Amino acid sequence: MYDVNNPLAFIGQLLHVGLTVYLWIIIIGALISWVNPDPYNPVVRFLRRATDPLFIWLRRHVPLIFGGIDFSPIIAIAFIIFLDVSLVPILREQGNILANILIGLGQSLSMLLNFYLIVVIVAAVISFVNPSPYNPIVRILSALTYPVFSWFRRRLPLSFGGIDFTPVLVIALIFLVNTYGAHTLIRMGLNLKLKGGF
């Protein structure tokens, strides 16, 4: 809840609603883009007008296209979650700036790691059924996992008995980074809040 007599808290609530709506617009737009929608459909045109400015800005500053697949929606989702978790509480609480930034960074990082964990698990399971490399889902999974898998394969012997254990190592590393990186940032932020820090 928020105090309507507190203008910053009210602005924070409005920002939260706006970010939530925009988050779903990005998610729906990303899902629709994977099925080659009709570009003249009014819904598709609205989604593109609403998301293209952010996507273009991200692509200009960060290389987000791998294997011909655009991953700017994923970064955009993480960025919106960061704003919702950090900036909105700062406005509501009118303080705890560093604490909320740490929590926002931790939760955004954790979201990205959990997403990649699911991708690695699905890619590992699909690899056992010898899927068609032309399948769009297989292409997306390959574009996401191949750079990481190939980096480890070049440096470590991870195949035993014809089985590639690279996904197992990547999953273990994701758990470690999530536990000692993302969750540590969240705990630091929460501890700062409890101590009434900046």
Task: Classify residue 96 by its DSSP letter.
Answer: -
- 64 plus 159 within the same structural domain: no
- 76 plus 112 within the same structural domain: no
Domain stop point among 62, 94, 126:
94
What is the per-residue pLDDT across 155-164, written as a single tens digit (0 to 9) for each? 887 777 777 8
- 90 plus 100 within the same structural domain: no
How many structural domains comprise the chain?
2
Give the pTM: 0.76
- 87 plus 100 within the same structural domain: no
Nearest CA to 167 among 105, 100, 121? 121
Q: 175 near 73, Cβ under 8 Å? A: no
- DSSP readout, 109-127? HHHHHHHHHHHHHHHHHHH
- 170 plus 126 within the same structural domain: yes
Q: What is the pLDDT of residue 198?
A: 61
Q: What is the mean pLDDT of residues 174-196?
A: 91
Domain stop point among 94, 124, 142:
94
- 105 plus 148 within the same structural domain: yes
Q: What is the pLDDT of residue 145?
A: 86
- 100 plus 194 within the same structural domain: yes
Domain range enclosing 197: 96-198
Give φ, ψ of 159 to 5 degrees: -110, 125
Q: What is the pLDDT of residue 67?
A: 58
- 137 plus 182 within the same structural domain: yes
**Regarding beta strands 159-160 and 69-70, do their DSSP bridges make them parallel or antiparallel, or are they unpaired?**
unpaired
- 102 plus 198 within the same structural domain: yes
Domain stop point among 94, 119, 136:
94
- 150 plus 85 within the same structural domain: no
Is residue 31 scored above 80 in pLDDT? no
**Where is pLDDT greater, at 55 or 67?**
55
- 90 plus 119 within the same structural domain: no
pLDDT-above-90 percentage for the chain: 27
